[in-house]
Amino acid sequence: MKDPIHNYKADFPILNKDFQGEPRIYLDSAATSQKPQMVIDAISDFYCTNNANVHRGVGRMSQVATEKYEAARQTVADFINAPSSRNVVFTRSTTESLNWIATGYAAQVLKPDDEIIISVAEHHSNVIPWQQVAKQTGAKLVFVNLDTNGQIDLADFQKKLSAKTKIVSLNHISNVLGSINPIAKIAQLTHQFGAKLVVDAAQSAPHLKLDVQKLDADFLAFSGHKMLGPTGIGVLYGKMDVLEAMQPVQFGGEMIDEVSQQTATWQPVPIKFEAGTPNIVGAIGLAAAIDYLNQIGMDNIEKIEHKLVKQCLAELKQIDGITIYGPQNADQHTGVISFNLMGLHPHDVSTGLDLEGIEVRAGHHCAQPLMQYLGVESTVRASFYFYNTPADVQKLIEAIKTVKEFFEDGFA
């Protein structure tokens, strides 16, 4: 277990270096997180000492590679408290997981006039697969609104839930607002109508202790790269009944049981979904990332981020002409803060911050329906992780003030 005042940046080679000769503060972890040396070493060690394909050869290298790949699946299962490693399917990303759920499960069960409920705050990855499935099946896509804190409006949700609802698919944490949805409560309401709940945990898996059994989600999706792991590895968790009912979306080597000229049968869950050579080193890198997160403890990560958010919100609120979107109180907030400055375009603000050595994101954050709902085209978004420090927050605030003064003086 790491000491709570550990200098986390020291574990991340990229955070200890200048970028293009200048110091830089990384506040874009909601887009992708940085990687600790431990993860980089796990990837490099596998390629240097053990590289072989999995689930195929009887050779010892292949056997050890298979053991490591399956151990990584167990590490993920333990991290989210899944009943078994069989509930964990490796995918490429949250996006791929959600697409597979929509195509492999929902498209098989939905009928014309059935309803899928999502929210106005979903990432495009949790909108477009449902639009496609709705078109394909004749089901209707229904949008639930947000309350003043940027969370799912539970009254509106209950109004829209009905016997027609077959799928509810919602984010656990909004990638724009940082608001946390009460998933366990949403699951209880969803299940009263016999519908299935899909949770987009892309922004929660890196930051909160996830317990899929307590949340009672039927499906849950997240990406390795936002939680210190490499890109190209994602997770699709499912309860066994829905995974058994779900059809594979990709076909080929490894996922089959027997193949004849005209027919084929599948391996059991989860291998039936993992056609072809999987991202072996991605899974091993993700397991190393989880080991690192466990050394800190997800509770400590929450505490560190909560302090940063509290400091940042308090300081931002002192800036004239700022609009902060989402919850205004740090207790309901994770480390994602979106804002705009009156009269300034978010892209100009982020370019100004970039020149000040601060990496943030500006734009619609792949959530255009949310931008329409908020009545804006885009926002500036700063997103924190446990490796950020109070000094990083202070530098962000000073840089925002500098950028604001620059533009205001420029236009005076």
Q: How far is the CB of 148 from ligand C6P (least distance, A)?
A: 21
CB closer to ligand C6P out of 42 and 370: 370
Is 223 a binding residue for ligand C6P by CB under 6 A? The answer is yes
- On the CB side of 353, CA atoms within 13 Å amount to 29
* 80 contacts: CB under 8 Å, gap ≥ 6: 88, 205, 210, 211, 212, 220, 235, 237
Neighbours of 130 (CB within 10 A): 24
Tokens 């590895």 correspond to: 233
Q: Is 203 in the site for ligand C6P (CB under 6 A)?
A: yes
Q: Mask: binding to ligand C6P, 349-388, rule CB under 6 A, as x and -?
A: ------------x---xx----------------------
**CB 233, min distance to ligand C6P, A:** 10
- Of 142, 202, 284, 337, the one binding ligand C6P (CB under 6 A) is 202
**Nearest CB to ligand C6P, comparing residues 65 and 362:** 362
What is the strand order of the sheet 140-144 is part of?
Answer: 88-91, 234-238, 219-223, 196-200, 165-171, 115-119, 140-144
- Examine residue 239 and tell whether it contacts ligand C6P (CB under 6 A): no
Local structure of 217: helix, strand or coil: coil
CA count, 13 A, side-chain hemisphere, 163 = 0
Work out the number of other CB atoms within 10 angstroms of the CB of residue 394. Answer: 13
Beta bridge mates, 119 = 144
- Min CB(200)–ligand C6P separation in Å: 5
Residue 404 binds ligand C6P (CB under 6 A): no
Active site residues: 366
CA 410/CA 366 separation, integer angstroms: 31
Size, binding site for ligand C6P by CB under 6 A = 17
Min dist CB 45 to ligand C6P, Å, is: 25
Q: Is 119 in the site for ligand C6P (CB under 6 A)?
A: no
Which among 55, 42, 16 has a CA at the least distance from the CA of 284?
42
Cα(first)–Cα(last) distance of the chain, in Å? 54
Q: Does 169 bind ligand C6P (CB under 6 A)?
A: no
Interface with ligand C6P, residue 179, by CB under 6 A: no
Counting contacts by CB under 6 A, is residue 91 touching ligand C6P?
Answer: no
CA torsion sign, 81 to 297 to 236 to 190?
positive
Asked whether 270 and 89 are in contact (CB, 8 A), the reply is yes
190 belongs to the binding site for ligand C6P (CB under 6 A):
no
Q: What's the CA gap between 221 and 369, in Å, rounded?
A: 21
Site string for ligand C6P, 313-352 (x = CB under 6 A): ----------------------------------------
Span 22-51, contacts to ligand C6P by CB under 6 A: 30-31
Site string for ligand C6P, 121-140 (x = CB under 6 A): --x-xx--------------
**Contacts to ligand C6P from residues 286-305, by CB under 6 A:** none
Question: Shortest approach of ligand C6P to residue 216 CB, angstroms?
Answer: 20
Residue 174: CB minimum distance to ligand C6P, A: 7
Q: How far apart (Å, rounded) are the C-alpha atoms in residues 385 and 383? A: 7
List of residues contacting ligand C6P (CB under 6 A): 30-31, 93-95, 123, 125-126, 171, 175, 200, 202-203, 223, 361, 365-366
